[in-house]
Structure 1
Amino acid sequence: MMGEHGPDGRVTLGGHVHLDERKARAVVVALAALIAVVVVLATVYEGGADAVDYALACVGSLVLAEYRRAPRVVLVASALCMAAFVLHAEPATAAAFPVLAAVHTAAHAGHRLLATGTGLAFLAAFLGADPGRDGAVERTLLLTGWFVCAVATGIAATTWQAYLRQTEERALEAERTREEVALRRAGEERLRIARELHDSLTHHISIVKLQAGVAAHLARKRGEEVPPALLAIQEASGEAMRELRSTLEVLRTDGPTGSPALLVERARSAGLPVELTVTGRERALPSDLEQGVYRIVQECLTNAARHAGGPAAVGVHLDYGERQVVVRVDDDGAARPDRPVAPGVGLTGMRERVEALGGALRAGARDEGGFSVRAELPVGAPGGAG
């Protein structure tokens, strides 16, 4: 078998070695040239051939280089040239080599009847060239066996290739099924965790917040000073409730519920002045990367609304590069370089998300005041954005 096209567009030689188109072409041409050399050398050894015979031998052999484009044309052309060769000169067994290769490739391409008929016609010409020569019948019978093998191996190669293709498709389907099962189980686990958090933590935190609020209200009603610890409990419980709701929202969704532009519009509706700037060629991103961009912008806007203080202005900048997407969120709030901000749960989770996507995150107070977050996310990173 000289070669066949694989399902991935490459050429398979012998069912095992994969080559790209250019290398495969060079190999096929080299094999055709090698067959031509063998036939010419055998003809020289036999003797009695002239220039026409050598031309027929070369054409009948070198035409094999085009078998992948037109296997039937190559089969007929090779058989005619080599039949004319054996009828004009003394029939050498090596003259059958090009026809054997053409019969095999034609059978492999699915032209089995044509391959069988052409092989029989060449054998008839080979025997009829000099039927009285010693060993003519024996050599013809030997070549008959070779032609049977050529047709059989061509058919077997087709069957084997189809089997390999089906095996690969089944393996890919099994892998997709495993991934779907894993994703489904992960989603079920997220929902279970969300339910557990809601049923336990949310209930208890709500009670703590309610009791702290009632105690503060009663203290004010009696004209007493509200203890600072009680106010701290009330504020911390409210913050914990907001963080928990944000966590539950992430657990209950498989991906982003919108776009960064939608987040900006929501923030504006809530009274936060936000400006969105997009540079580069905006395009659809892989799901993991798109979700990462969405969550980063969401967390930055949430932090700006909670911690920036006052009517802080926020700028969201998305830069779509060819190799990476850069998300930068700046605010002009109360953060200062001389008062470093301790990273909370939201900033830590943001950093972990960016690192999981193969990117880098820089966050901190700006020299001119306010806070800045810059996330560089590579497109096609091992984390799944590919």
Structure 2
Amino acid sequence: MSWERQPGHQQGYGQWYGYSGYTHQPPMPVVPREPVPPAAAEAEEEKPPPRLPGRDRYFDTLRAVALIRVVTYHTFGWAWAGMVFPSMGIMFALAGTLMAKSLERPALTVVRSRMRRLLPPFWFWGFFVVGAMLIHDWMPGRQIVYWIVPLGDPPGNAWAEQAWEILWYLRTYLWFVLLSPLLLRVFRLAPVPVLLLSLAPIVVFRFAWQPPDNRLGSALTDLATFLFCWILGFAHRDGVPARLRPFAVAVLSLAAIGFGGWYAFTHQAGTGSYDLDDIPLAQAFWSAGYVTLLMWAKSYFGIDFAWLTRFRRTDRIVTIFNSRAVTIYLWHEIALILAVPLIDQFWNVPAFERYLPLESQWFLFGIGWILIAVFVLLCGWVEDVAGKKKPTLLPGGGRAAAPCGRTATMGQ
């Protein structure tokens, strides 16, 4: 959900500064700089990042591909998709990197900022989902508090399960945000040992103690599954991967991938599938090895995908995916749900029935993305408001009409 921001979670990766030519001036007196108060620092963080070289397009591209893979998986249900590209592990690692960067400022300020960026889009989305469930005979109890702050899985009825079951990601992300000040302090005491030991909880949960089958157990399992990826984000921010020997990184990463794959294929009895989403231990090790290679390659080879900015349309798409990550994640299941009855209506048009592949899952995939784009236009501005930015239809463009008939300047 990243995602973490991630989606609604990223803060930008810094700015490049340069100086143009100037005429000779006498030296200016040096004036001591006043310390920046926390409130001013937070306001500075909220300023939109520059579009061109200020952002790390490698990370931005990974996040965009991760979101595409999530929608693809929820459309086709391919068990192998998580092995080809473990989206959730990647998004947690990217969010961990950004969190470590932000924690250079006071922890309380950072946590408050992250929650402010996440909760308003969640509340806006939840208003429609909860309202629809109430219409369909759902009556909430005290657990409705989780629709305000999703520290546990929000309750819902079976009718809307496909929509709300994705909220585990937001719940896990929120807990990682709250725990990050402590986790980062522990990590910096012994970076490599703590990183390796972060896989221990999921091993304990599998072989020594099984968490209870309730909200607490689900939260503990998801935290343990992706703990390594989150702390790997810390490690990348602190430059740890670049200091490791390539041979050791390759051997340990491939060993983790190998173990995760072996465990997934040999423990299908419970689910009948090798889908990593159903096998937390396999998910943890496969994601750990895969994401480690991605992070190490970036540090070792200096990958930044700066060339992407030469392709304006592709670069714009990546920008939109990153600026609307929370919107895409929250609304994509609803888009896929609505695509089904919409396609059913196409059968009533003889030309559509004759020439369009209405029975194809690929056609559903395409219609789903059209509806996702509609939701991005209608609802994405909430992410701007949550980030204290001027609401826009699409980031990085010119001028366009904002929702509700108001006009707003587009671009960042």
TM-score (norm 1): 0.23
- Per the normalisation by structure 2, the TM-score is 0.22
Q: Whose strand fraction is larger, Structure 1's or Structure 2's?
A: 1
